Structure 1
Amino acid sequence: MKPVNLNDVSSYVEQHIGVFHQKRIQSIDSLKLTDVLKRKNPYLFKAKNVLTSEQIVKTLVDAHISSNEETIFGDWLEGLAIFINGQVYGGWKSGITGIDLEFDMEGFRHIVTIKSGPNWGNSSQIQKMKDDFKTAQKALRTSNSNLVIKAINGCCYGRDNKPDKGDYFKYCGQKFWEFISGNDQLYLEIIEPLGHKAKERNDEFQASYAQMINKFTRTFANNFCKENGDIDWERLVEFNSSIYKL
């Protein structure tokens, strides 16, 4: 083990944070109004007395962005965690299905699956993770029967006060970043580098966002509004739910 070098972490972030912002913009540019309209409950809009095309469009696009950004940034943080662990413990990106990181520490092979936050999955998804851990343990012991393995669910933020889950350990937030780096303050120290060129990157994103809202609002009005400007709720519900294609 060697101490984490914060200058190296900052350099990594500065070199790679652009990927996150690029993917944010790409997710907007590739979005189709028809796709998001089919995923949202049209009855909810009516029940909330939504009256304008822009209100509906912004709700649809914002919901997509919120969900998509969590996934994109979660993947990006996973890369950061693997980089940091590699610097400190010599860890590596695992090639085993369902496992993100492997590294050796204190006589144990640690197999880690990395999630954004603590409430990432339902019971079937958690069971799938546990099955992946068992499969990985069998695969690793095939080549080294003496290997002592610990399975870890690491979460980049949040907390879990009962980390021992029986089949695996769950480390969240400060505990996770300390676990992979040996530095109990790393969870605070990575905040500043993450803001590298954030304003100019966000300005680019906002420009694409505004264009998308304007374009979708025009398309929605042309297809789902009556001549007098009212939303044509029957047509919208038919598009969303009818067994017949419009």
Structure 2
Amino acid sequence: MASTTKKKLTKKKLADYIEQNIVSFHQARKQSLEQLKLEDILRRKNPYLYRAKDIQTAEALVRSILDAHLSSQEESMFGGFLEGLAIFVCSQVHGGRKSSATGIDLEFEKNGKHYIVSIKSGPNWGNSQQIARMISNFKNAKKILQQNSQITYVEAVNGCCYGRSVKQHKGDYIKLCGQAFWEFISNEKTLYIDIIEPLGKGAYQPNLQVQKLYNQLVNKMTAELLQKFCKSNGQLNWEKILAYNSGK
């Protein structure tokens, strides 16, 4: 039987969860920088792109590829934090839980319906193949759940932690973004705003540590790039960079 009990998530519980769990995000960023090597990011990034941007100094190239790498990595790390936060919020209000079904992040009951949710950071998260995979996961999960005689109706939801969705009803699933998603799992219209303040509490010191590591890494990688991938006259050796990145 689907639960219709409505509970309220206090701002203190929300803040406590965020402050306790955001620490892992900052630690992961710090650890990533400590382990990162020039060769790692030089092999992963597109040298043609940086040549087309007419980058001419070793430091500018290092900063460009380092920033691109870190931006992508931090987005992924923070996405994991937001998923955990959404599951926590829903567990407090609707008894939501982490799903065991493939590709499904959250399950809960609300107003006589059983919801299965795939959580993403923002609305523009995937290409057509990735969306098709999500729909397939929804269909498979529905088939399994509908074998349970106590579950009469299953609704699939793609929940996005920020942004907006112009069209919510997508046929096979509902897409809820930003305020609409957080309100859906919490019954609170302002929850999407309530999250912001606790995120900033205590953020200064760990970000200062990350910035210090970043600056050290820029200096270290610049010196290494000058030594290994520059000509004797100081120019970037794009042929050598490209050979390292793409050569057989």
Alignment TM-score, normalising by the size of structure 2: 0.94
Provide the residue aligned with 2:83 in structure 1. Answer: 78
- Paired residue for 1:227? 232
Q: C-alpha distance in 1, partners of 2:205/2:10?
A: 27
1:95-244 pair list within 5 angstroms:
95-144=100-149, 146-243=151-248
Q: Quick one: distance in 2 between partners of 1:171 and 1:148?
A: 19
Q: Percent identity?
A: 51
Amino acid at match of 1:118: P
**Equivalence for 1:36:** 41
Is the 8 Å Cα contact of residues 103 and 118 (structure 2) preserved in structure 1? yes
For residues 14-43 of structure 1, what are the alpha-carbon distances to aligned partners after superposition, in whole Å with 9 as ceiling and x for unaligned? 111101111111222222221211222223
Q: Kindly indicate whether residue 59 of structure 2 is the aligned counterpart of residue 47 of structure 1.
A: no
Bigger Cα displacement from structure 2, 201-210 vs 136-145:
136-145
Give yes or no for the alignment of 1:15 onto 2:13: no
Instruction: Give the length in aligned residue pairs.
Output: 243
Pairwise CA RMSD: 1.2
How many angstroms does 1:216 deviate by?
Answer: 1.2
Query: What amino acid sits opposite 1:2 in the alignment?
Result: K
**1:59 aligned residue:** 64
Instruction: Give the superposition deviation at 1:213.
Output: 1.2
Report the counterpart of residue 6 of structure 1 in structure 2.
Answer: 11
Secondary structure of 1:143's aligned partner: coil
Give distance in 1, aligned partners of 2:122 and 2:207.
23
Distance 1:179 1:40, change over 3 A: same
User: By how many angstroms is 1:146 displaced?
Assistant: 4.2
Unaligned ranges ≥5, structure 1 = none
Amino acid at match of 1:233: W
Read off the aligned partner of 2:106 and give its amino acid letter.
L
- For the 8 Å contact 2:87–2:106, the answer to whether it is kept is yes
**What one-letter code is carried by the residue in structure 2 that aligns with 1:122?**
N
Report deviation, 1:232. Answer: 1.4
Indicate the larger mover: 120-129 or 231-240.
Answer: 231-240
For 2:3, the equivalent position in structure 1 comes to none
Report what 1:89 is aligned to: 94
Q: Is the 8 A contact 2:47 2:242 kept in 1?
A: yes
Aligned-residue offset at 1:48: 2.3
| 1: CA distance, partners of 2:186 / 2:151 | 25
* Mapped partners of 1:144, 1:215: distance in 2: 62
Comparing 20-29 with 169-178, greater Cα deviation is found at: 20-29
| One-letter amino acid of the counterpart of residue 29, structure 1 | E
Q: Which runs of 4+ in 1 moved over 6 A?
A: none
Letter in 2 for 1:135: N
Does the 8 Å CA contact 2:114/2:151 hold for their aligned counterparts? no
Q: What amino acid does structure 2 have at the position aligned with 1:192?
A: E
Q: Which runs of 5+ in 2 are unaligned?
A: 1-5
Instruction: Quote how far apart the aligned CAs of 1:145 are.
Output: 6.8
